[in-house]
Structure 1
Amino acid sequence: MKIFTAEQLYEADKITIKKNKIASSDLMEHAATQVFTWIHSRMQGAPVPIHVFCGIGNNGGDGLVLGRHLLQHGYKVQVYVVNFSDQRSEDFLLNYNRLKDAECWPTLIKGEGEFPKITKDDIVVDAIFGLGLNRAPEGWVKALMQHVNDARAYTIAVDVPSGLYANSAPDDMEAVVHANMVLTFQAPKLSFFLPETGKFLQSWEVLDIGLDPEYLNATDVTMQLIGKQEVLPMYVPRQKYSHKGNYGHSLIIGGSFGKIGAVSLAGKACLTTGAGLVTAYIPECGYEILQIAVPEVMVTSDPGKRQIADIKFDMAPTVIGVGPGMGTDDQTRNAFAEFIRTNECPLVIDADGLNILAAEKELLESLPAKTVLTPHPGELERLIGAWTDDFDKLEKTKAFAKKYDLVIVVKGAHSVTVCDQKLYINTTGNPGMATGGSGDVLLGMITGLISQGYDPLQAAVFGVYLHGRAADIAVNDTSYQGLLASDIIDYIGDAFIDLFKRPEPPVHEEEGKHE
């Protein structure tokens, strides 16, 4: 699914109005009617008090249209105009008069002493600010938004929660409405998926408001939301007369005394994702452990007894995954650096491999094109430096990926794959994945996909999706707290099978996902 910028959505509005020869108020009527239909289909006339808070721009105009429809269908509704300025949009004024013609007189709120009482059993509709907001709400308007939040009523935001921007971080994190549901127009917004801003909404759903499909289809975007529909075309089925040699030979390099489990997880995940053969390159201390733990993985031991000391092997792997449990001992750092300088094989790098790269950045110049890096936030910061907010983090990651021609998976609640100045935002996963070893499993999965012939970007995007989907299926049996990294491996096969099941209803819970 495409994620558009605010500017692209404004352009879509203009083109839709021009091509269909309609007034902007007609588009507003249609959009707000979609919001009403969503609410009405669920409430079915229930006598629950509904408070509709309207700003004085077009988002407020949407709220006025909604209030009119709710009133005409017998709902117990009160409409408020947040009267913070004398300037009003034309469509707001038009619908303000239409609402009065329907014998509903909105309550004007002009200051803090005029806030209505809201109980936790009420419903609030937030239509104060939309995509046009360009500065943080202040004074009594900010206090009103905090009043809404403090009420803990079920809150529905129209298009975006007030105070939240589409493409940048809020100037004031305390001046944002907390929404239980966001009914967003035509496409979700980037801010819904980043840790600092995604926390302001629990769920979201896209409402098709009829923006010009030709423009939407033809417009190039730099952000894509990745779900089943997007990854299914990537899937390459196996041929009947194939054999293990057709699916590549993956090499997993890593491990140190006490951390052989990381390589075990990566190797097993690599095989379970479909690699034809997997060999683990580990220090001598892990030889027997790995042979017993994952008998399907072949093992080559390094001269180092407790850590990697000299990376040399006599095989020709299809792809190499390096870093899990490897440590950053001086011998290991020297061996890793020499390996990077001479290697020409496709790479996936995680964990201590990333930490060594961050400490010796000159090695980045020696990485093969489209090497996949899979950092968690701490590892990413060591690579690219500090950032001011999540949007700045992504911009710096894009610049870093472009400079070194990399594919970077920014792990988190919605892992974002960055490549060629584009963002691929994942939709699968859950809080149970915040457990040791999840990253090792992801490294193995991406390595296994490259081994089978997927290009690095496809392998990263597809691997992140399958990783999260396997965990989503697993938690039905394990719970969030009980999920182990090894459980994710056990459900990789189910994640593949799930690709061909009917899609789930398009309601998106944003309760936090971790990888």
Structure 2
Amino acid sequence: MKIFSKAQIYLGDKLTAERQNITSTELMERAGTQIFNWMHARMQGAQVPVHVFCGIGNNGGDGLVLARHLVTHGYNVNTYVVNCSDKRSKDFLVNYDRIKNVTKKWPTLLKCADDFPEINANDIIVDAVFGIGLNRPIEDWVKQLFLHFRATKAFTLSIDIPSGLYPDKAVEDKEAVVYAGFTLSFASPKLVFFLPETAKYTVQWEVLDIGLDPEYLYTTETEAQLIGKHEVLPNYIARDKFSHKGEFGHALVIGGSYGKIGAVTLASRAALSAGAGLVSAYVPKCGYMPLQASFPEAMVITDKDEAILTAIDFEIEPTVIGFGVGVGTNTKTIAAFEAFLKTNKQLLVIDADGLNILSKKKSLLKLLPEHCILTPHPKELERLIGAWTDDFDKLNKAKALSKKYKLILVLKGANTITIFNEKLFINTTGNPGLATAGTGDVLTGIITGLLAQGYHPSVAAIFGVYLHGKSADIAVEDFGYQSLLASHIINYLGEAFIDLFKQPEQTPQPQEAKEETKK
């Protein structure tokens, strides 16, 4: 799913009106009607008090359309206009007149904190105060209104974006934003729904189709894309009946040190479970017995040293190499890694201490092969790119690193973001159970295993992140967040592959309201 920028959404609205020969007011009617249909399908006439708070721009106009439909369908609705400016959009004024024509209970004008209505915890708040056009800090009394929303503990539904949140930059005051239980977003979700600092402002979201021009939506390239089943499935490589292990590559996992051989075991198992034809592990001598005993499917090559890697020397010809899990940052290991990079011609995935070595000696970055995949967690990323002021600054710095060295970056988190060719691929699978030791090693192995089979490095990274999260989502149903182990991710990886081909169940559609037709 594409994630359109603010400018692209505005252009889409404009082109839709031109190509479909409709007015902006009619497009607003579509939007508000779709919001009503969503609520109506869930409320089914329930007389729970609904409080619709409308700004004086187009987002407020959407709220007025919703409020009018709620009124005409017999709901218990209270409408408010948040008078935060003397300027009112044309379409807001049109719909302000329309709602006055269907009810004697005209919208209440709010001008200060003394005007705030009483709201109970069982009521519903609809936030239609500010949309994506907000470009300045809000007034203090409006901030107090948003805090009032929170204090009531009522369910809050935001229209398009939680008010106070910018779609393309960080917020100045983290308290001056609506905390939405649900956001109904037009055209596409907003990037800020998936960033660590701003995702908290909406618990859930859904995209509403308001009939924007299909050609525009299909042909417009976006910087960010949301990755789900439908996005990864076309990249799946099917297997021929007569295929054999030699066709699916040979993955080599290099890593481990005394006490950290488990990391290599997890990565190697994950690589084979992801589909690599062969897997070898290169470890210190102390890792030979543990690997042979716990993972008999792997071949094992050992360093001369008992506890650390002091040289990377092997006679096999791997298709891809995963480096860094459990390897440590001993000076001899760093020297061995540098010598290896100077001669390596293979595809490469680097994680964990491999990333820490690069941070310690950044001159090694220029030795990395094109499309090398780095998989940092937040602290590892900070060591690579330096501290950031906010999530947008972080993304810009990460994109700069990716561009400079022609790297693929996998920024691990609740919504892992893969950066390739200055584009963002935002993953939708995974859960808090992944916050446990070893899951990063498993991800490294999955990506390495996909690379071995011939997936393009960008596809291997994006697909690998998706499968890793999906496997965790399936496994957590049996183990819960607290008891999920890294090895469970590997054990459920097959089910994640099978899930790619499962069809979702169809649900009947409720009767919908009709759009306003009068001009």
Quickly name the TM-score band, shorter chain normalised: over 0.9
C-alpha distance in 2 between matches for 1:161 and 1:355: 38
Q: What secondary structure is seen at the aligned counterpart in 2 of 1:479?
A: helix
Q: Which residue of 2 aligns with 1:21?
A: 21
Q: Does 1:52 align with 2:49?
A: no
Q: Which residue of 2 aligns with 1:248?
A: 249
Gaps of 5+ in 2: 508-519
C-alpha distance in 2 between matches for 1:136 and 1:268: 51
Q: Which residue of 1 aligns with 2:71?
A: 71
Q: Within 5 A, what are the aligned runs for 1:115-514?
A: 115-503=116-504
Q: Does 1:83 align with 2:86?
A: no
For the Cα contact (< 8 Å) 2:252–2:282, is it kept in 1? yes
Deviation at 1:135, TM superposition (A): 1.4
C-alpha distance in 2 between matches for 1:56 and 1:357: 52
C-alpha distance after superposition, 1:296-334 (max 9, x if no partner):
011001112111111111111100000000010111111
C-alpha distance in 2 between matches for 1:13 and 1:230: 25
Q: Aligned in 2, Cα 1:504/1:319: closer, same or farther, shift over 3 Å?
A: farther
C-alpha distance after superposition, 1:178-222 (max 9, x if no partner):
001100001111001111010111100010000111111111111
Deviation at 1:503, TM superposition (A): 3.5
Q: Within 5 A, what are the aligned runs for 1:36-47?
A: 36-47=36-47
C-alpha distance after superposition, 1:130-188 (max 9, x if no partner):
00000121210111011111111111000000011112111211111000110000111
Q: Aligned in 2, Cα 1:461/1:505: closer, same or farther, shift over 3 Å?
A: farther
Counterpart code for 2:219: A
C-alpha distance in 2 between matches for 1:313 and 1:452: 21
C-alpha distance in 1 between matches for 2:260 and 2:58: 57
For the Cα contact (< 8 Å) 2:127–2:163, is it kept in 1? yes
Q: What secondary structure is seen at the aligned counterpart in 1 of 2:481?
A: coil
Counterpart code for 2:277: G
For the Cα contact (< 8 Å) 1:112–1:143, is it kept in 2? yes
Deviation at 1:118, TM superposition (A): 1.1
Q: What secondary structure is seen at the aligned counterpart in 2 of 1:306?
A: coil
C-alpha distance after superposition, 1:55-105 (max 9, x if no partner):
000000011111110011111110000012111001111111111111230
C-alpha distance in 2 between matches for 1:238 and 1:427: 26
C-alpha distance in 2 between matches for 1:491 and 1:188: 29
C-alpha distance in 1 between matches for 2:506 and 2:172: 34
Q: What secondary structure is seen at the aligned counterpart in 2 of 1:199?
A: helix
Q: Which residue of 1 aligns with 2:512?
A: none
C-alpha distance in 2 between matches for 1:504 and 1:445: 29
Q: Which residue of 2 aligns with 1:510?
A: none
C-alpha distance in 2 between matches for 1:150 and 1:401: 43
Alpha carbon RMSD of aligned pairs, Å? 1.0
Q: What secondary structure is seen at the aligned counterpart in 2 of 1:79?
A: strand
Q: Does 1:10 align with 2:14?
A: no
C-alpha distance in 1 between matches for 2:305 and 2:371: 30
C-alpha distance in 2 between matches for 1:87 and 1:504: 47
Q: Does 1:92 align with 2:100?
A: no
Deviation at 1:22, TM superposition (A): 1.2
For the Cα contact (< 8 Å) 2:2–2:224, is it kept in 1? yes
For the Cα contact (< 8 Å) 2:84–2:139, is it kept in 1? no
Q: Aligned in 2, Cα 1:338/1:504: closer, same or farther, shift over 3 Å?
A: farther
What TM-score do you get using the length of structure 2 for normalisation? Answer: 0.96
C-alpha distance in 1 between matches for 2:136 and 2:382: 28
C-alpha distance in 2 between matches for 1:447 and 1:138: 51
C-alpha distance in 2 between matches for 1:247 and 1:213: 39
C-alpha distance in 1 between matches for 2:248 and 2:101: 70
C-alpha distance after superposition, 1:218-240 (max 9, x if no partner):
11111111000000000001111
Counterpart code for 1:106: P
C-alpha distance after superposition, 1:412-461 (max 9, x if no partner):
00000001011100000000000000000000000000000001000000
Counterpart code for 1:420: N
Counterpart code for 1:323: G
C-alpha distance after superposition, 1:350-378 (max 9, x if no partner):
00000000111111111110000000000
Q: Aligned in 2, Cα 1:505/1:117: closer, same or farther, shift over 3 Å?
A: farther
Deviation at 1:504, TM superposition (A): 6.9
What TM-score do you get using the length of structure 1 for normalisation? Answer: 0.97
Counterpart code for 1:37: N
Counterpart code for 2:74: G
For the Cα contact (< 8 Å) 2:183–2:204, is it kept in 1? yes
For the Cα contact (< 8 Å) 1:247–1:276, is it kept in 2? yes
Q: Which residue of 1 aligns with 2:516?
A: none
Question: How many residues get paired?
Answer: 506
Counterpart code for 1:254: G
C-alpha distance in 2 between matches for 1:25 and 1:354: 53
C-alpha distance in 2 between matches for 1:221 and 1:46: 40
C-alpha distance in 2 between matches for 1:304 and 1:222: 47
C-alpha distance in 1 between matches for 2:8 and 2:270: 40
C-alpha distance in 2 between matches for 1:304 and 1:90: 76
For the Cα contact (< 8 Å) 1:228–1:503, is it kept in 2? no
Counterpart code for 2:242: Y
For the Cα contact (< 8 Å) 1:254–1:325, is it kept in 2? yes
Q: Aligned in 2, Cα 1:293/1:446: closer, same or farther, shift over 3 Å?
A: same
C-alpha distance in 1 between matches for 2:298 and 2:464: 20
Deviation at 1:505, TM superposition (A): 8.2
C-alpha distance in 2 between matches for 1:82 and 1:212: 31
C-alpha distance in 2 between matches for 1:452 and 1:289: 27
Counterpart code for 1:54: C
For the Cα contact (< 8 Å) 1:279–1:299, is it kept in 2? yes
Q: What secondary structure is seen at the aligned counterpart in 2 of 1:275?
A: coil
For the Cα contact (< 8 Å) 1:341–1:363, is it kept in 2? no
C-alpha distance in 2 between matches for 1:135 and 1:489: 47
For the Cα contact (< 8 Å) 2:224–2:425, is it kept in 1? yes
For the Cα contact (< 8 Å) 1:55–1:81, is it kept in 2? yes
